[in-house]
Amino acid sequence: MTTSPLTDPLAAKLADMSLQQSASGSPTSVPPLPEPAVLRARDRYTTDASLPPITSTHHATLTPAHDTLTGMSVVLKRGSSQARIAHELTVLRTLRDNRIPNAVALLDSFEDRDTGSGTVLVFRKLENLPNFADVDLVVIARWVRAIAETLNGIHGLKIAHTCISPSTLMLTGPADSETSSLLITSWGDAQFLVPPPPPPSVSSPVATAATSNAAAAPPPPDFTAPDIHALGSLFGRWLEPYVPNCALNYLNSSFVRKSTTTYISRKLTDKLDAQRMNREPNWHPAVANAADLLAKLLEPDDEVLIDAAQVLAHPFCKLQEADFEGTDKVAWRGEMMKVGVRGARGSAAVYREPKIYMRGH
């Protein structure tokens, strides 16, 4: 994205200098204005060569920078290929045009002619997620709602993120701040179920009844299921301190088989059934709602797996902040010390997790 000389701040400043010189009788010529793309790369965003990249993978390199126009700390993203960056740029513009919530906003883009690295994407500098063991359930609920809102929006556009993980989630501020929001980043691997709409300058093909019906139909479950299962895997990691003896620790593995998530889903359902029949002490209502949602997110059958809209409609996502009283980590650890790991009173209640062997471990 480039800025015209009429809207570029530096161009406006130079134009104002020209008017002042004309009024004073001085020569009206001003130094030639470089192309906005070159001007942005060289002058607007400054980097410190002594600082290492924020991250560097085989897909992209993120470099911290300073926006001299706004004074904001930003991140410059250079991709491993121009095709990948062009694809991410298309996705980000689609999300922006459709006002998808909780998706990282593209601040700017420019052609870096100084280094020849092609198109560079500019984002606001964000905060990493904290250790999940230090996050209270009320914060986890906010994060789950935020991800579900984004998935509901992009799945409606027939877009799948495909790579939701702790590394693609960032915060706008400290995790304990009520004003901090969770954003989904890294859209380079996002997939369109149908080709994205052409730019306004390109004429669109004439729509027929068949194409209109196909556009209105919801995406197939196998297209959206990976995003829903990824949300379930994240949610299970965050929920592990609250839900003992349900093998949630296996979700921390780099490779989790469907048989493992199926076992966890069934285990959670059995626990909740036992509590309803008074065979085990009940969990806190907010924790019980969280466990029920997690069991549904890990459902192995894509045809009956809940979608993002159903996640938002689940009782756990409808809880108010007051409903989480007593679930902060300090209070919850105290409760876990009173209750044995299998629900029986006393620390003598010992239960061994079944051994699950993971492929490659």
* Listed residue (251, 244, 252, 228) closest to 287, CA to CA: 244
| Sign of CA pseudo-dihedral 20, 26, 29, 35 | negative
Neighbours of 62 (CB within 10 A): 19
Decide if 9 is inside a domain: no
| Interval 304-315 mean pLDDT | 97
Are residues 59 and 85 both part of a single domain? Answer: yes
Domain at 67, CATH number: 3.30.200.20
pLDDT tens digits, 26-70: 444 444 434 444 444 557 898 877 777 777 677 888 999 999 999
Cα 54 to its chain centre, rounded Å, is 18
**Mean pLDDT of the residues in the chain:** 81
Query: Is residue 286 within a helix (H) or strand (E), and if so which, with residue range?
Result: helix 285-297
Within 10 angstroms of residue 156's Cβ, the number of other Cβ atoms is 14
Q: 345 in a domain, yes or no?
A: no
Total count of domains within the chain: 2
CA dihedral over 339, 140, 145, 224, signed as positive or negative:
negative
**Same domain, residue pair 121 and 133:** no
pLDDT of residue 132: 80
pLDDT over 70, % of the chain: 74
C-alpha dist (Å) from residue 29 to 20, 49, 197, 301: 11, 36, 44, 71
**135 and 94 share one domain:** no
The helix (H) or strand (E) run that includes residue 301 is: none
Q: Residue 215 has what pLDDT? A: 58
- The answer to whether residues 161 and 111 belong to one domain is no
At residue 106, the 3 state secondary structure works out as strand
Residues 6 or more apart whose Cβ sits within 8 Å of residue 359: 255, 257
The pLDDT assigned to 337 comes to 62
Same domain (yes/no): 95, 238 = no
Nearest CA to 10 out of 76, 68, 72, 64 is that of: 68
Average pLDDT in the 126-155 region? Answer: 93
Residue 263 reports pLDDT greater than 90 = yes
- Which amino acid would we find at residue 240? E
Assess whether 91 and 117 both reside in one domain: yes
pTM: 0.78
Cα–chain-centroid distance for residue 351?
Answer: 36
The total number of residues shown for the chain amounts to 361
Domain annotation covers residue 5: no
Binned at pLDDT 50, 70 and 90, residue 344 comes out as very low
89, pLDDT greater than 80: yes
Domain enclosing residue 190, as ranges: 128-195+214-326
The pLDDT-based confidence of 330 (bands split at 50, 70, 90) is confident
pLDDT at 167 over 60: yes
Shared domain check, 110 and 177 = no
Asked whether residue 66 falls in the same domain as residue 157, the answer is no
Q: Is the pLDDT of residue 1 over 50?
A: no
3-class secondary structure, 171 = strand
Domain identity same for 181 and 308: yes
CA angle 2-70-8, nearest 5°?
30
Q: Does residue 156 share a domain with residue 68? A: no
Do 262 and 139 belong to one domain? yes
Mean pLDDT across the stretch 189-207?
A: 71
Report residue 204's pLDDT band, with 50, 70 and 90 as the boundaries.
Answer: low
Band (200; pLDDT cuts 50, 70, 90): low
Does the residue 40 lie in any domain? no
131: Cβ contacts below 8 Å, ≥ 6 apart: none
The answer to whether position 310 is within a domain reads yes
**Across-strand partners of 328?**
none
Look at residues 157, 341, 311 and name the one whose alpha carbon lies nearest to residue 232: 311
Q: State residue 77's pLDDT score.
A: 93
Q: Does the residue 12 lie in any domain?
A: no
**Pairing label, strands 191-192, 55-56:** unpaired
pLDDT at residue number 15 = 47
Q: Are residues 225 and 166 in the same domain?
A: yes
- Which tokens is 309 given? 């809209």
Residue 248 domain flag: yes
Residue 27 falls within a domain, yes or no? Answer: no
Q: What is the CATH number of the domain that holds 142?
A: 1.10.510.10
Residues 6+ apart with CB under 8 A from 303: 221
